[in-house]
Each structure stands twice: as C-alpha cells, then as structure tokens.
Amino acid sequence: MSMALKQVFNKDRTFRPKRKFEPGTQRFELHKKAQASLNAGLDLKQAVQLPHGEDLNDWVAVHVVDFFNRINLIYGTISDSCTDQTCPVMSGGPKYEYRWQDEHKYKRPTALSAPKYMSLLMDWIEVQINNENIFPTNIGTPFPKCFMQVAKKILSRLFRVFVHVYIHHFDRVSQMGAEAHVNTCYKHFYYFVTEFNLTDHKELEPLKEMTARMCH
C-alpha cells in the first residue's frame, strides 16, 4: 500500500461509524472465517462460497456489512473530488443515470448530485443494517422473510458506487496508488453477488467490459 493511500485509510474517512460484529456471536465467528480466507490468499471465487454447514442469511449479512464498510471507505478517499460542481448528476457515464427514491422525502425517483446521492445512500444502508428486525444480531433470532430482498437492494445500490468511482474518479484512485486495493474489493464484491445471484444483471451492465477483463 502506498504512503498516500495509508494516510487516507488511516484517517478512516468513512462517513459513518463502522458497524462492528460483537465478539462471541455467530456473526463475529463468520466474519473471522471470511477474513481468514482472504488473508490466506484464497482465490476470491472460492473465498465467497458458503462454508459447509453455515446459514446463507448469516453469510450474506456478514458480507453486506463488510462491503458497506469497505465501499464507504473507498468513496471517502475520492469524495473531495466528487462535488455538486464536478458531479451534478449521480451517473456512470453518459448512458447511466441513478435517481434516488426512499420512503420519506423522495417518494419518486429524483435526480440528485453524486455526493448528495451517496450521503443519502450511506444513511439509508446504515439504518437498514442497524435495524435488529432486518439484521438480527442475537443467536436464535430468525431473519425476516424480507431479509434477502433488502440485502439485494443494498448490494445493488452499493454497486452503483463502484460504477461512479470507476467511470468518473478512477484517475484520482490511480493518483493515490489505490488502484490494486479498489480492484480487489470490486472483484470480491462481484464474485459474491454473482455467486448468490444478489444483483440484477442489468445493474452490472455499466462495468461489463471492465469486469470481463478483470474477473474472467
């Protein structure tokens, strides 16, 4: 890791406090297992596979939180060059524009600047992953029927952060020496969502050519 990148990551420039896994819980053990696979240099395609005897909901929950923390940090590293002036629309090149919609202020899909969209997105995800009714932390508490649907929505929206960063800010990523780190994080994310069919193929379209070079 380059010095510039270390300085940025040491600042821990996430927008929000990280969601931590409580020691002693099943989720904490699964998180350790996932991290051990990555640290051992296991092939990313293998690392994302569901460990024998583990529950898929738990495995997805652990990864959703982990990807939220990592992608939040990646966006934080380039956020100084992503402003209302440079990115007045949340997009992935001229063909793809992302509009924000939620249950509160933006009940219809609304065009927003990229930083505004990102801020609302990270707020929204944080609310979901800290909601015990959706992401239960106690062993024995069942996941709700809507869990996978919520997880898919979170992951689809997080993918849009990669799209925006790669298409509009990759020069900044390269300048900071963070290219290898971001690419590894992207490959890990891509293999995970495709392994469990957690993102519609149309969401993956904007980075299709790059993904074909990087992941196949």
Annotated binding site: 82, 87, 164, 169
Q: Are 15 and 124 in contact (CB under 8 A)?
A: no
Residue type, 142: P
**Structure tokens that stand for 113 in this block:** 């600047």
Q: Please compute, for residue 60, the number of CA atoms within 13 A of its CA located in the half-sphere on the CB side.
A: 23
Q: Are 22 and 28 in contact (CB under 8 A)?
A: yes
CA–CA distances in Å: residue 193 to residues 45, 96, 137, 156, 190? 11, 20, 22, 9, 5
Q: Are 164 and 53 in contact (CB under 8 A)?
A: no
**Is 67 buried (19+), middle (13-18) or exposed (0-12) by CB count in 10 A?**
buried
Annotated binding site for Zn(2+): 82, 87, 164, 169
